[in-house]
Amino acid sequence: MGKIEFKINNKRTMGIVQHKYDETCKVSTYNNTTGEVDHEEEICPGDMVMLLNYYRHVKSNNIECEFINPYPK
């Protein structure tokens, strides 16, 4: 099992968990104080790879993108 966590805004955390190799990832956002889950999403391996490839493409080519690269150089 692999888990990654990031602090985000409003005393919340985003966690990404994958229980088995090449299996769907569960992405959750939750309140740091209460542990209450705000939102959960499942991302299949193929979509996760496409998301990372898209991120790399936008950054490498300095493409304007509202979420990834809003202020290209």
Report whether pLDDT(31) > 90: yes
Percentage of the chain exceeding pLDDT 70? 100
- So where are the chain's domains? 2-60
Residue pLDDT, tens place only, 32-46: 999 999 999 999 999
Lowest mean pLDDT among 22-26, 31-35, 60-64: 31-35
Nearest to 10 by CA among 32, 39, 27, 42: 32
Cα separation of 8 and 28, whole Å?
12
Residue 73 pLDDT grade (very low, low, confident, very high; cuts 50, 70, 90): confident
